[in-house]
Amino acid sequence: MDFLNILFPVSGVKTNILLPPLIAMFISFFTSMAGISGAFLLLPFQMSVLNYTAPSVSGTNHVFNIFAIPSGVYRYIKEGRMAWPLTLVVVAGTLPGVFLGYYIRVLYLPDPKAFKFFVGCVLLYIGIRLFKELTGKARPGSADAKTLEEKFKARTDELKKEQSSKLAAGIPSHAVVKTLSVSLKKIEYEFWEERFSFNTVSMFMLALVVGVIGGAYGIGGGSIIAPFCVAVFHLPVYTIAGAALMGTFITSVAGALFFSVIPATHGVSAMPDWPLGILFGIGGFAGMYVGARLQKFVPQRVIKLTLGLIITFLSIKYISQFFV
């Protein structure tokens, strides 16, 4: 099977051509249910398994997002679960952050040990918040999300009993995101007869910070902003997943362009490995489509638990590397 092993000149990676798409498909299937592209898990895989540690690995992750995310976004738009006002705020904040993230990564953090420690601390905080909600110790503000979870559970039980392919193709027509009000102070929307809102400025500032982190590491930002929306703003996973993926897609397009066009300094290569990124993207495309399609049948508690475990594992990994 040596003929399947190929060398990618830009990254210097030599691997079986089937490995990148298969790994990306497996990761993206689970992460897309929570609005995460999977790039934040591909980064450790590339660095630890493929030994791809150059700054260009961040740009390659952005390429993965470009080709993988559209399938998941399509499903959320088709089923009416795209919270467009939330999406616009996320994009408005993350785009300028990507500019800063690129320069921080290439010019100041070619060996970003301290920055990984910071990211690990942020993710650990989010993981703790998610686990507090799972144990029932969250603030009362999450009551609407719990009510929504009960409705989804009841609907899932109905679908299992009816065994109808037509019904299984989507949730009820009234269970779509409906924008109620948009202002610089607050954005409010309705989903499945429950109202949710968030402070516009707070969400923008969060997105800006996320953009810096996502631009520097090529993780897109969904892995950070989605848990924050759930744990801090008490928004339901079912409505933020599409917005997080759309925001990640747009910022990844910008990130890939920055890494490709803007020249690096100090002899450090920042050019993404496009063939490798596209291979990852092909697998991610399939995984995200299936994950987004099945998300509505998975209890929010299961999604939160999975997300919390993944984030906690990644945070411990980043923090421990600082002391090694």
Q: 4 lies in a domain?
A: no
Q: What percent of the chain lies above the pLDDT cut of 90?
A: 19
pLDDT tens per residue across span 287-322: 988 887 787 677 767 877 877 887 788 888 888 888
pLDDT tens per residue across span 251-260: 888 888 888 8
Distances in whole angstroms, Cα of residue 95 to Cα of each of 134, 135, 217, 233, 317:
32, 35, 14, 21, 27
- Bridge partners of 181? 188
Span 175-185, mean pLDDT? Answer: 88
Q: 122 lies in a domain?
A: yes
Q: 169 lies in a domain?
A: no
Higher local confidence (pLDDT), 137 or 215: 215
**Rounded Cα–Cα distance for residues 39 and 210 (Å):** 14
Kindly indicate the confidence band of residue 165, based on its pLDDT and cuts at 50, 70 and 90: very low
Collapsed DSSP state (helix, strand, coil) of residue 205: helix
- Bridge partners of 199? 186
Q: 241 lies in a domain?
A: yes
Q: 252 lies in a domain?
A: yes
pLDDT tens per residue across span 199-218: 999 999 989 988 887 777 66
- Least confident segment among 66-80, 105-119, 146-160, 240-254: 146-160
The structural domain count of the chain equals 1
Burial 108-135 (b: 16+ CB within 10 A, else e): ebbebeebbbebbebbbbbbebbbebee
Higher local confidence (pLDDT), 48 or 27: 27
In the prediction, which pLDDT does 155 show? 56
In the prediction, which pLDDT does 152 show? 57
Q: 131 lies in a domain?
A: yes
Q: 6 lies in a domain?
A: no
pLDDT tens per residue across span 225-241: 877 787 788 888 778 88
Residue 158 sits in which domain range?
Answer: 17-49+67-163+175-323
Distances in whole angstroms, Cα of residue 236 to Cα of each of 69, 73, 119, 242:
20, 17, 24, 11
179 φ, ψ to 5°?
-75, 130
Q: 148 lies in a domain?
A: yes
- Return mean pLDDT, the chain: 79
